[in-house]
Amino acid sequence: MAIDTLVRPDAGAQAGAKVNDFSIAVATANGTGSQTANLTLLRSFFKMGIPVHGKNIFPSNIQGQPTWYHIRVSKDGFVARRPPELLVAFNRDTMHQDVAMLEAGGVCVYNSDLRLNEGRSDLTYYPVPVKELLAGVDVKGKIKEYIANMTYVGVVAHLLGVPLDVIEGALEHHFGKRQKLVDSNFEVVRLAYDWAVANVAKADPYRVEPMNATEGLILMTGNEAGALGAVYGGVSVSGWYPITPSTSFIDALRDFLAKLRHDEDGRPTYSVVQAEDELAAIGMVVGAGWAGARALTATSGPGLSLMAEFLSLAYYAEVPAVVWDIQRVGPSTGLPTRTSQGDVGFAYTIGHGDTKHVLLFPSSIEECFEFGYLAHDLADTLQTPVLVLSDLDLGMNNWMGKPFDYPERPLQRGKVLSAEEVAALGDWGRYKDVDGDGIAYRTLPGNPNPAAAWFGRGTGHDEMARYSESPTDWEQNMARLARKFDTARTLVPGPAIEEEPGAQLAIVAYGTTRYAIEEARAQLAAAGVATSFMRVRALPIGDEVRDFVARHEDLVLIEMNRDAQLTAILRDELPEFAARIRPIAHLDGMPLTAAWVLERLMPFLPEEARRLMEGA
């Protein structure tokens, strides 16, 4: 995210010091409680006012397997993944490989019980005697293992200059009212910190200094933000089936609903049902949408494929439904804990028989929240499924953002007729395009007017929702649905555009790739190479996307999949400009880095710009 007001760290800092600008990788074993330690570090930087972002890089295992946590600390507000300068090596199985990955000049804090051989002379090593430090701590077994990770928090705090009270504050935030846990964890942090003060001579340039760049900001995962948005969008029914990385979306949804949605008698004004599979999860959502309640499900690729038949039916019977697809990599188990933008092509036309769906592409927690309620407004207004395509990186990681704006627009429930309105109309027909926008009027079960009834079906139907196999009825109905999709173009969020005068290249992207791209653009700009940027936020595209493409002859579209899926969609929708949209498509499961983006942009830059970059 871009930081508007930056207070630069003290300019009088010692020469060569690298202040508030580095990346840390913490390598631990899964299930050892390292998450608490990592979040404590993350929140401590955040509390010091320094822009920060944390990424879980974890394998698909529950316990014992290697896991990494990357923390990006950036005074300039860049939060893309960046190869780490600092390593915390607390996992025996991966430590040699972890050390090998560090660039020259890197720092390695390691658990000396693991007997790492300090083989590289271009690194600074800080061994931490974890066993010895914990010897005096009065906890047993499993807890000891959990708490052991707090030792690196203490040592890193000393090395970087994080005040102890900030760490304590972060622990209080983490554990809430469970003071005992705050105390026991903090005791270990303090022990390690004091030990480091007495025994460790600082020999590296990395450190932090307080700023005020996170003032007023919040730190949240995309899944939490999306679920919260849905709650403020009035979601009342959810059917779901567990799948990483969408499960935490539903966990958050249930927590927020439990907090926020009760009637005077304390009864829940919502229902969340864990389904037997994704076929049933989406069935519940479509059933609830037909009956008039706002409903959603959250899933990932494999689950989405099981939803194809119901999404197709909902498109054709015109039932609102919201699906959050937190994208991961590949079929079956694929790379289940790695991020991707691989479902775009599938999601856009999922179904059979000319289906086309509204897709939203959130890129930040603010957009997750906004699209959380907007998705329901759009689904109700357009009487159709809306798919929100988030990804693992956004959904499961903590991101900074501005506190969310309360939705100012009332809930948009769309064209739903009451008993009286049906009576007043006289000749109401479920699929009649009265207003010319392709959107017909619907009624809900329970409407007391006997003339309000209609029969939902996937079979061919006429304007009155009567069974019909007439070729004309089919064609007219499909033409109306296409018209409705054109209406959708005018209702979905437009692109975010940053257009620079004299830009040498226009970059198009969507979702979380923005962070690496924004950082790369800043580096280009620093070298005197201006670029323009359009971040597509929804499909179908509207005039703004079209006009941007029309204005720029040199475009690249960066996305995280092999086959350049959005590129294909844009080329298809804008055939007259197809040739100018050139893809940079890439997927290895890892979020993009600015360095990678720069390298891949090079061939697309004009000669002169390339020279400027090489000189930079």
Partner 1 sequence: MDRAPKLNLVGLSKADYAAAPSTLCKGCGHNSVAAQLIQVAYELNLKPQDVIKLSGIGCSSKSPAYFLGQSHGFNSLHGRMPSLGTGALQANHSVRAIGISGDGDTGSIGLGQFKHMLRRNVRMVYIVENNGVYGLTKGQFSATADLGQSLKYAGTNPFPPIDICLEALAAGAGFVARAFAGDAKQVREVIKAGLSFRGTAVIDIISPCVAFNDEPDSTKSYAYGREHQRALQEIGFFPAQEEIVVADYGPGEMQVVELHDGSRMTLRKLEADYEPSDPTRAITRLRQADLAGELLTGVLYYDASRPSLAEASELPATPLSMLPDDTLRPSRETLSDLLAGYA
Considering only residues 454 through 473, tell me which ones interact with partner 1, judged by CB under 8 A: 454-459, 466-467
Q: Which residues inside 43-72 make contact with partner 1, applying CB under 8 A?
A: none
Residue 234 binding partner 1, by CB under 8 A: yes
Residue 427 binding partner 1, by CB under 8 A: no
The token duo for 39 is: 């979040």
> Shortest distance, CB of residue 336 to partner 1, whole angstroms?
23
Which span (83-91, 129-137, 379-387, 438-446) binds partner 1, by CB under 8 A? Answer: 438-446
Dist. CA 151–CA 131, nearest whole Å: 10
Which span (72-80, 212-220, 545-553, 564-572) binds partner 1, by CB under 8 A? Answer: 212-220
Which span (9-17, 93-101, 121-129, 259-267) binds partner 1, by CB under 8 A? Answer: 259-267
Q: Which residues inside 400-419 make contact with partner 1, applying CB under 8 A?
A: 403-404, 406-407, 410-411, 413
Q: Which of 4, 122, 138, 263 is the binder for partner 1 (CB under 8 A)?
A: 263
DSSP at 13 = P
Residue 501 binding partner 1, by CB under 8 A: no
Residue 429 binding partner 1, by CB under 8 A: no
Nearer to partner 1, 448 or 502 (CB): 448
> Shortest distance, CB of residue 465 to partner 1, whole angstroms?
10
First-to-last CA distance in the chain? 24
Centre a 10 Å sphere on the Cβ of residue 115 and count the other Cβ atoms it contains.
10
Residue 248 binding partner 1, by CB under 8 A: no
At residue 582, what are phi and psi to the nearest 5 degrees? -110, 130
At residue 239, what are phi and psi to the nearest 5 degrees? -115, 140
Nearer to partner 1, 126 or 373 (CB): 373
Please work out the total of residues on this chain that contact partner 1, with binding judged by CB under 8 A: 76
- The string of DSSP codes covering 256-284 is HHHHH-B-TTS-BS-EEEE-SSHHHHHHH
> Shortest distance, CB of residue 178 to partner 1, whole angstroms?
15
Residue 169 binding partner 1, by CB under 8 A: no
Do residues 267 and 257 make contact, with C-beta atoms less than 8 angstroms apart? no
Query: Which residues on adjacent β-strands are paired with residue 86?
Result: 24, 107
Do residues 491 and 484 make contact, with C-beta atoms less than 8 angstroms apart? no
Residue 604 binding partner 1, by CB under 8 A: no
Q: Which of 216, 426, 436, 575 is the binder for partner 1 (CB under 8 A)?
A: 216
Do residues 230 and 373 make contact, with C-beta atoms less than 8 angstroms apart? yes
Nearer to partner 1, 234 or 493 (CB): 234
Residue with the two structure tokens 């953002």: 401
Nearer to partner 1, 140 or 409 (CB): 409
> Shortest distance, CB of residue 318 to partner 1, whole angstroms?
12
Nearer to partner 1, 55 or 571 (CB): 55
Nearer to partner 1, 167 or 516 (CB): 167
Q: Which residues inside 363-402 make contact with partner 1, applying CB under 8 A?
A: 373
Q: Which residues inside 128-167 make contact with partner 1, applying CB under 8 A?
A: none
Do residues 581 and 572 make contact, with C-beta atoms less than 8 angstroms apart? no
Residue 232 binding partner 1, by CB under 8 A: yes
Nearer to partner 1, 299 or 341 (CB): 299
Q: Which of 123, 273, 522, 527 is the binder for partner 1 (CB under 8 A)?
A: 273
Do residues 132 and 161 make contact, with C-beta atoms less than 8 angstroms apart? no
Q: Mask: binding to partner 1, 19-48, rule CB under 8 A, as x and -?
A: ------------------------------
Nearer to partner 1, 151 or 221 (CB): 221
DSSP at 467 = B
Dist. CA 186–CA 229, nearest whole Å: 34
Residue 461 CA, chain-centre distance (Å), reads 39
Q: Which of 349, 449, 468, 476 is the binder for partner 1 (CB under 8 A)?
A: 449
Q: Which residues inside 521-550 make contact with partner 1, applying CB under 8 A?
A: none
Q: Which of 447, 477, 504, 512 is the binder for partner 1 (CB under 8 A)?
A: 447
Buried b (16+ CB within 10 A) or exposed e, 520-543: bbebbeeeebebbbbbbbbbbbbe
> Shortest distance, CB of residue 448 to partner 1, whole angstroms?
5
Q: Is the peptide bond before 245 cis (omega within 30 degrees of 0)?
A: yes
Do residues 372 and 230 make contact, with C-beta atoms less than 8 angstroms apart? yes
Nearer to partner 1, 144 or 413 (CB): 413
Nearer to partner 1, 450 or 615 (CB): 450
> Shortest distance, CB of residue 43 to partner 1, whole angstroms?
10
Do residues 99 and 89 make contact, with C-beta atoms less than 8 angstroms apart? yes
Contacts of 29 (CB under 8 A, 6+ apart): 63, 64, 65, 66, 67, 90, 91, 93
> Shortest distance, CB of residue 269 to partner 1, whole angstroms?
6
Nearer to partner 1, 362 or 401 (CB): 401
Nearer to partner 1, 283 or 438 (CB): 283
| Burial grade of 185 (CB within 10 A; 0-12, 13-18, 19 or more) | buried
SS (H, E, C) 401-453: ECCCCCCCCCCCCCCECCHHHHHHHCCCCCCCCCCCCCCCCECCCCCCCHHHC
Q: Which residues inside 285-344 make contact with partner 1, applying CB under 8 A?
A: 285-295, 309-310, 313, 317
Nearer to partner 1, 234 or 303 (CB): 234
Dist. CA 330–CA 434, nearest whole Å: 43
Q: How many CA atoms lie within 13 A of 96 on its CB side?
A: 4
> Shortest distance, CB of residue 17 to partner 1, whole angstroms?
29
Nearer to partner 1, 85 or 377 (CB): 377
Residue 254 binding partner 1, by CB under 8 A: no
Residue 392: in which H helix or E strand, if any? helix 392-396
Smallest CA-to-CA distance from 534 within 523, 520, 516, 518 is with: 518
Residue 52 CA, chain-centre distance (Å), reads 16
DSSP at 461 = B
Q: Which of 45, 193, 256, 315 is the binder for partner 1 (CB under 8 A)?
A: 256
Which span (138-146, 329-337, 440-448, 572-580) binds partner 1, by CB under 8 A? Answer: 440-448
The token duo for 280 is: 């049933």
Nearer to partner 1, 182 or 605 (CB): 182
